[in-house]
A = this chain, B = another copy of it.
């Protein structure tokens, strides 16, 4: 059974409304928004990543899912595996603790197990948030909506590339890769107005395609408008190639929101310094992406993002719209 079949099977099992057909990054139960992300050594973090940054990232990638639903952190359960390196585990917990403190996420439970000798670590977190007045799904985008990104694209993937070339690499993009910042406050502010919202973690194009599929709309993206950092442009330039890299790289933990076209985000009380760019729009039509750069159409790259990044069932393209209820 391939991974896609596994996930298709899980979707057949998960018929409860709280599961949101497993099409979202979260489950919603009563007033709580619940997500679980696991990361495995050698698959989701580098063996030489500082353990504190692994702990930070485990917490913040889960918080990013809460942010995209406008939820306020309420509690977390840590699934900790011990692999016999107490210094690593101590530093890892320091990172977990720092992220929990930074974002007001109380650690309320979990599980600690010893791994068999030699097993790579698998670390998980269940994050629970309190829902705001609206919990936007991926599937509420409407033709005519504007598509916005909150945050910066490309830095995380560029930081990872720097590290793969030189494990001692440092700098702002390495920091972004290792220590993502969940857009919690912005997510809470935008969620009540959003028709659809999700976090961008597997690559803007892949995540946009998922929103398009779930919402049953076409999405038109203007690559010129992607929010890039000065560090990114200084290192990789501002070309079609660098913009496609930023659009497919993943590890962004920005937010992607479909907002009514009439809404002017400048009227929202976003946290100071929030970067929010209108990168495209939703339109009637097949749930496909189309790209443009400097007014000219651009062909979709073969690889839209990371398919098996480990977030909630995001490995699978959304099923055909006709299959959804």
Contact = CB atoms under 8 A, between A and B. Distances in A.
A38 B6 contact: no
Contacts of A3: 82, 112, 114
A10 B107 CA distance: 8
Interface string A110-148: 111111100110101010100000000000000000000
Interface in A82-109: 82, 86-87, 89-90, 93, 96-97, 100, 106-109
Interface in A29-53: 29-32, 34-44
Contacts of A149: none
Contact of A108 (B6, B18, B311): B18
Contacts of A96: 13
A10 B128 contact: no
B19 A106 contact: yes
Number of identical monomers bound together in the oligomeric complex: 2
Contact of A29 (B2, B9, B32, B79): B32
Contact of A38 (B41, B89, B111, B128): B111
A22 interface: yes
A10 B315 CA distance: 32
Contact of A44 (B1, B6, B113): B113
A18 B106 contact: yes
A124 B163 CA distance: 30
Interface size class of A (residues with CB under 8 A): 35 or more
B34 A31 contact: no
Given A22-B109, A87-B1, A115 B40 contact: yes
Contacts of A112: 3, 6-7, 10, 310, 312-313, 315
Given A122-B81, A124-B79, A126-B36, A109 B6 contact: no
A265 to B, nearest CB: 29
A36 B111 contact: yes
Interface stretch (A70-78, A204-212, A243-251): A70-78
A153 interface: no
Contacts of A124: 36, 38, 79, 111, 124
Given A42-B119, A43-B114, A110-B312, 5 more contacts: A19-B106, A36-B111, A109-B312, A110-B313, A111-B310
19 contacts: A1-B90, A6-B80, A6-B82, A6-B90, A9-B90, A10-B78, A10-B112, A13-B96, A16-B75, A16-B108, A29-B74, A32-B32, A35-B109, A36-B79, A79-B79, A111-B310, A112-B310, A113-B122, A116-B120
Interface of A: 1-3, 5-7, 9-10, 13-16, 18-20, 22, 26-27, 29-32, 34-44, 74-75, 77-82, 86-87, 89-90, 93, 96-97, 100, 106-116, 119-120, 122, 124, 126, 128, 308, 310-313, 315
